[in-house]
Each structure stands twice: as structure tokens, then as C-alpha cells.
Chains A and B, each alone.
Chain A
């Protein structure tokens, strides 16, 4: 059967941050089914809607720029298709755009996050500690690997603080971290490491993925 690939850019916010990656898969399959778009099904004994998420998002992290690929059996107006899909979406998930995929999963190199740290210390103190952390030569964390068990890696070279400041009652840090197949450091790892090194137990940390970039720094699309 003829099929064309479609890439959806969507937001995952509010209560939807508690949908795990596995559950998101099912949620999206059902939304696509409800949308009545001419979605392509895998051919086999148990046909199902084919989906690809180029980069998984950790549980609890919001995003204004998630990607999901599926295939369709006939072409349609992409704006209309986006509206059809949105009318079938549950709370917190909304499609911003449908387009043809340009890059491949493997092209992904980085992701950017907006992170807000609440409570446990004054925001000024948080920023002071952040500066101290960034002056360290190494920032070692334990990373679990499938083949080698838990290994120590130095993430200092990969921490790229874009900007940090105080907003109302909290510290807001924008950060770029490696993402994709080769090395993936998610925002939780940064938050935990920051907490360990600064000795601050935050009341709450809000994290939102704001960009996904390919290896040369251009926007993934």
C-alpha cells in the first residue's frame, strides 16, 4: 500500500506530563484512530498504527516541541489534518504542526530545556551555587548502562547553560544538553546533580523541553 510519512510537532503540558512514554504511544494511537485521518496500519496478523517518536521525553517533563511520526495512505491538507487530530486529543496534548519529516532520529544531537527551581533556598543562592557548579572541572554522575552496570561519567563538558536568572520567587535556568542515540542527558539528571552539588533540596522543579536540535545545532524538523 502507498504510504507517506507525516511528522507531527506537539505540546505535552499540564496533566499530560504524567503520561509515561509507553502510555503516550497508546494514547496517540487512539487519538489517531479517533481523528479519522487516513492512517497507515502495519501489515500483519495484528495490524496496528505505526508510530515513531524520534526522542523520548522523561516522565514529569513538559514540552513545547515533541515529535511523532506516522504514515498515511492518502494525502490531505496538513492544516486540516492538524485540526482533526487536535479535536481528538486529550487534555494537555496538542498538535502545533504537521509536516513532512526532514531529518532522521539519528540526526538529533541536543535538546534545550527551561527549568524552574522552586523552594529549598532563595533564588539568588541557587544561582550562586549554579555558578560554583559550572566552575568545577568535573561533574561526575552515576549512569546506568546496559552492558557495564553503573558507570561514572563526567557531564561537565556537556553542560551548556544558555542563561540563568531570577523570575518572581524562583530561579529559571535555560540549558542545552546532549540528546539522541549517542549520549542522552535528560533534564532530571541535571536537576538531581544540581541538587546534590548545591545541597539544596528543592520543593519543586518544573522542566520543559523547548527545542530539539540536530548535531550541527539547527532545529530538528
Chain B
């Protein structure tokens, strides 16, 4: 236990309460009475990681088992890391304050590509070699899961075991297997081999990758009989049945999402072609309103939170959203708890939903049309019309809102200058709508914020074949957008840094060879890449150069339909044929109906044994 040592340095760092544990509802066990100790690492700061729902779910589900102890670990901020290194304090877990290098498992949840260097840094801070091959049998098993693990290849050098898909069941199976084998005195190597037999477990060292002369992949072949040629992701069949935390650890310091969160559905019916989450989290499953109600009450009571949010990829797609909200608001109104609804779709936005949002805080409303013209929205299958956007804004203005924030992407496949100008025109039309509305708030002006991300093609989407637009091209389009806006006073435009998007694209679609690059980038000082104040584009570029990795090859190359993708041996149940057909339809600007309207036979329903919506 490092408590005393920590207490002597904590007053020298910012927000010390995030480094000492002891928060309400954190789980303390006797380490001598548990079989398996699991250090659950979120490779970012406490404030970010503590906001993450998946970690809360898996933390509770593991700790529900008497013989398992799961603890939380976050990346220390720079000031704390420096003091830890200076005082030889290894990375520790917040519950026991024990060094994690003595645990059975160290697990990372990998939510975005820009945290990869933090994973290496945390292993190093723990006092462990960052590469799997350099770690000995007495060191913990390093596992990783989360959305980025749908293409885990760039991390293959560092992680022993990848967990594909939803973690509730497979994590427990893995720990049970470990507990049994540990009792029998098996080695770590034997355990890792045996783990490969569990569905959803991918052990990268059991596969050999060979390459063609042009650098593309020739084959990915198992080198051990334990390894299956294709690894299937895991899914939870029924969200009403699966355990959901009855309490959350309540932090002392303010975190990004400081509130109770109830997950209301998983997957998404929409099939937007750019959206990786929309494909890798299939099928669509939802909780019924009684489950949501029960979970809301239990979480609010155990945490004392004054806000609860209904979380999902698209909360307004809950079939009985109105019924659920009226059931919940009886409770939340009475208890003076704010009910918040992120992820609203424009076409589901109604007067009633707005009233509920308004009851919380009268800030601006945010919508995501993603593209400026109907043609391009059809290409990406956003399935939102201009009329729907106008209708939603009209409702918002009537309700007293004067600020609207719109999300767009630049560099989408087939994007032309007309599509860019379309963004500006859409903003102008919304401004006109406001000033022509007799019901608008008198004497107040409208403010439109346009936020543009750069499109990043992602694995398991119909756009995985697409190149990312070049720096010069994105630059030109950004300028064009600025020039196209006439009401400069009423519209402000902001973008994500392209130099960040390019790294995302490379890492998202990368292969195993990038392990050397990530290692080099980390060695040279890269960490917290998702924080603009820490992002070192120059160091990353040097790392690419030094390791001979070609950015254009990974990010800017159009990939053919028959190219073997680095993630092709991983089965997320959405078939490649479906992705190809969706890609072709996108180029023809043809839309695909949402899953609730009509099944598009993506492959998921066949894999899960039955239709997603109770009919074939």
C-alpha cells in the first residue's frame, strides 16, 4: 500500500482527490480473500475515465463476484506522473493503493485511437515492459477491449489478449478460467492459450500476418491449433436481463459527465455509413421502461446525483420514449433530479421533448445534419431532410431558443464544393427562418455555431474502403466554407484539428506494423494525444519516418473490395458483402431504410439467431 508515500506528495498536485481513492461506493475487499485481482485501466485522466459508462458496468459486474476484485486505474496527469517517477511510486489502483504490477490482470478499455500512447505509458509507469514479448510469466496478463479493439492490430505488440464486443459475460468467463488455472499452478502462457478458446477472445500472438509486395496484407493465419481462423465478437442478448450497476463510484472532484447514467439501448437502427458505432454495436436492443425506471431510481438513490442522463447512441429511437419519459419524470420531478437526454435526432425532435430539455437548462440546442446537401446526406445515409431540420429549428425558436449548434463533417466521400456551400446555405436558411418567425423572442438575435470535424474512415463501415481527404484539400474546403458564409456575425465556424484526424485515420485502419511507430512515438514523449496541449504532431511524424510507416498508405489510399483488411479475421457479424453493397449504394446516393422499417440483411440477425425486430 502506497498510502503514506502518496499523502506526502498529493498536496503538490492539481486535484489531489483523484489520486487517493476512498470515494463513495468504491469497492474494498480483502486481497487475501480473493482469487483474481483485476486492474481496470482507463487510458486517460480520471475526469474523463470516471465519466465512462462501460467501466462502471464492468467494475460492478466483476466486483459482484466475491472471489474477484476489480479496481480502477487512470492515467495520472503530468504533474502527478513527474512526482510518481521522482519518488519511485509505481502506477497503483485506487481501491487498494497497491501497485498494479502485482495484479493478475491489467485491462484497458480503448475508446479512441488517441489514447494508444497512454496505454504504453501506463504499463511503463506500472513498472512493466510495454511489449508482450518482454514480459515474463510472473507479470500480469494484459487485456484490452472497447470499440477500437474492432481493429486491435496496431496494439498487437503490447496486449496479450483482446476482448471483442460486449464485455459483461466474457470478462467473467476469462477470470473464471484464470482462477481455475491459477489454482492448478498453470503458467501465464498456458492460460493465454486456453483463453483463446473462449468466444470473443483474440490472442494476437497466435496469428502470423504476411504481406504482399505492395504492402497490403496477404494473409492472417493462426500459428497454433488453439486459435480459430475467425474470432467472433460477443453480444448480450437481452438488456433487460443483464446486470446493470445499482450504484456508481461518486467522485469528489468534478468530472466530465458528473451524473447518473442509465443506458437505455444498445446498437442503432440508423445505419449512417460513416458511423462505426452504428455497425459494431449491432444488433439494436432496448430496455423496457420498467427496467429503465428501476435502474434510474436505484442509481439516483445510491449516488445522490442531482442529474440522470438516458444514454445510448440515439436515445430518441427508444420505441416508447414518450412513455418512458413520463414514467421517469414522475420520479425525477419529485426528487428534484434533472433528467437529461443526449443524442437526440432532428427528425425525432418534438415540442414535448423540447419542453423536457428546457426544464433542465436553457442553453443552445445541438443537432447533427453531418452534411450540407440532401445529396451528400443520402450518400452517408443520414436520412434527415432539410424540412426536418427546419421544423426542428422552428420548434426550438418557438420555445425560446436562440442558439443552434450544428455538427458537420468535411471530406466525406463524393463531397463537392456545392456540398460545402450547402452548409453555409443551410445556416443562412436557419437565420432567415428565425427572423421571419413572428413568435421569436423579440430583441434577441440568433446564433448559429457550425462545428466541422474531418471525416475519418473507420473499419467495419461501408466507408472503410475510402481514403481520407488530404490536408491541402481539407484546408481548401475550410476556406471555401468560410467564404460562403454571408452572415458572419450570426454564424461562427470551428473545426477539429486535421493533424489529429489524420492520426486517427492511420491508427484506426492500421495494421500490426504500426506497433513500432506507436512505440517510437511514446518513447519520444507522446502521450495524452487527445489533449490539444499535449498533442505532438511533429513527434508523431518523426516516429512514422523513423519506423518507415507511410501515412498515405494507411489513410489516403483507396482500398479495393478484395483487399484483406487488417481486421478481416475479426467477425463483428456485419458481412463484408453488406458493407460493399452499402458502399456502392452510397456512391449512387441511394439510401437504406432504418432497421425498424426494414431489415437490410447486414448479417447480424443471422448471427444472433433471429430477427432483430421480432419479425423476418
Interface residue B361 (Cβ < 8 Å from any Cβ of A): yes
Interface residue A46 (Cβ < 8 Å from any Cβ of B): yes
With known contacts A18-B10, A59-B16, A204-B8, A23–B305 Cβ distance under 8 A: no
Interchain CA distance A150-B206 in the complex, whole Å: 65
Chain B's nearest CB lies how many Å from the CB of A195? 14
Report yes or no: A30 in contact with B305, Cβ–Cβ below 8 A.
yes
Contact residues, A187-213 vs B (CB, 8 A):
203-204
Which of the four size classes fits the interface of chain B? 20 to 34
Interface residue A53 (Cβ < 8 Å from any Cβ of B): no
Residue of B nearest to A19 (CB): B252
Interface residue A64 (Cβ < 8 Å from any Cβ of B): no
Interface residue B83 (Cβ < 8 Å from any Cβ of A): no
Question: CB-CB contacts of B14-50 with A at 8 A, as 1s and 0s?
Answer: 0111011111100000000000000000000000000
Question: CB-CB contacts of B65-94 with A at 8 A, as 1s and 0s?
Answer: 000000000000000000000000000000
A14, A27, A32, A41: the one contacting B252 at CB < 8 Å is A27
Interchain CA distance A15-B17 in the complex, whole Å: 8
Report yes or no: A90 in contact with B22, Cβ–Cβ below 8 A.
yes
Interchain CA distance A33-B304 in the complex, whole Å: 5
Give every chain B residue within 8 A of A46 (Cβ-Cβ).
338, 361
Chain A's nearest CB lies how many Å from the CB of B337? 9
Report yes or no: A41 in contact with B336, Cβ–Cβ below 8 A.
yes
B11, B253, B306: the one contacting A29 at CB < 8 Å is B306
Contact residues, A20-48 vs B (CB, 8 A):
20, 23-24, 26-27, 29-34, 41, 46-48
Report yes or no: A29 in contact with B361, Cβ–Cβ below 8 A.
no
Give every chain A residue within 8 A of B17 (Cβ-Cβ).
18-20, 23
Report yes or no: B306 in contact with A48, Cβ–Cβ below 8 A.
yes
Interface residue B110 (Cβ < 8 Å from any Cβ of A): no
Give every chain A residue within 8 A of B338 (Cβ-Cβ).
46
Question: CB-CB contacts of A1-22 with B at 8 A, as 1s and 0s?
Answer: 0000000000000111011100
Chain B's nearest CB lies how many Å from the CB of A201? 13
Interface residue A96 (Cβ < 8 Å from any Cβ of B): no
Interchain CA distance A31-B252 in the complex, whole Å: 11
Interface residue A88 (Cβ < 8 Å from any Cβ of B): yes
Residue of A nearest to B300 (CB): A33
Interchain CA distance A47-B332 in the complex, whole Å: 12
Interchain CA distance A206-B305 in the complex, whole Å: 32
Give every chain A residue within 8 A of B336 (Cβ-Cβ).
41, 47-48
B21, B302, B303, B361: the one contacting A15 at CB < 8 Å is B21
Give every chain A residue within 8 A of B563 (Cβ-Cβ).
none
Report yes or no: A34 in contact with B302, Cβ–Cβ below 8 A.
yes
Interface residue B301 (Cβ < 8 Å from any Cβ of A): yes
Give every chain A residue within 8 A of B24 (Cβ-Cβ).
30, 90-91
| Chain A count of residues within 8 A CB distance of the other chain | 28
Report yes or no: B23 in contact with A23, Cβ–Cβ below 8 A.
no
Give every chain A residue within 8 A of B23 (Cβ-Cβ).
90
Question: CB-CB contacts of A163-207 with B at 8 A, as 1s and 0s?
Answer: 000000000000000000000000000000000000000011000
Interface residue A120 (Cβ < 8 Å from any Cβ of B): no
B8, B20, B250, B302: the one contacting A203 at CB < 8 Å is B8
Question: CB-CB contacts of B242-260 with A at 8 A, as 1s and 0s?
Answer: 0000000010111000000
Chain B's nearest CB lies how many Å from the CB of A34? 4
Interface residue A217 (Cβ < 8 Å from any Cβ of B): no
Give every chain A residue within 8 A of B10 (Cβ-Cβ).
18, 60
Report yes or no: A30 in contact with B22, Cβ–Cβ below 8 A.
no
Contact residues, A29-81 vs B (CB, 8 A):
29-34, 41, 46-48, 59-60
Contact residues, B262-305 vs A (CB, 8 A):
301-305
Give every chain A residue within 8 A of B11 (Cβ-Cβ).
59-60
Give every chain A residue within 8 A of B304 (Cβ-Cβ).
29-34, 88
Report yes or no: A91 in contact with B22, Cβ–Cβ below 8 A.
yes
Chain B's nearest CB lies how many Å from the CB of A142? 19
B16, B254, B303: the one contacting A18 at CB < 8 Å is B16
Report yes or no: B20 in contact with A15, Cβ–Cβ below 8 A.
yes
Chain B's nearest CB lies how many Å from the CB of A206? 9
Chain A's nearest CB lies how many Å from the CB of B89? 15
Give every chain B residue within 8 A of A59 (Cβ-Cβ).
11, 16
Report yes or no: A90 in contact with B253, Cβ–Cβ below 8 A.
no
Interchain CA distance A213-B382 in the complex, whole Å: 66
Contact residues, B324-362 vs A (CB, 8 A):
336, 338, 361
Interchain CA distance A16-B22 in the complex, whole Å: 8
Report yes or no: B21 in contact with A90, Cβ–Cβ below 8 A.
no
Give every chain B residue within 8 A of A29 (Cβ-Cβ).
304, 306
Chain B's nearest CB lies how many Å from the CB of A10? 15
Residue of A nearest to B303 (CB): A30
Interchain CA distance A15-B252 in the complex, whole Å: 11
4 closest residue pairs by CB, A with B: A30-B304, A15-B22, A33-B304, A34-B304
| Known A15-B20, A18-B10, A29-B306; 14 more pairs at CB < 8 Å | A18-B17, A18-B19, A20-B253, A23-B252, A23-B254, A26-B254, A30-B303, A30-B306, A32-B304, A33-B305, A34-B301, A90-B24, A90-B252, A92-B22
Interface CB pairs A-B, < 8 A, 6: A20-B17, A29-B304, A33-B304, A33-B306, A90-B23, A91-B24
Binding site for B on A (CB under 8 A): 14-16, 18-20, 23-24, 26-27, 29-34, 41, 46-48, 59-60, 88, 90-92, 203-204
Binding site for A on B (CB under 8 A): 7-8, 10-11, 15-17, 19-24, 250, 252-254, 301-306, 336, 338, 361
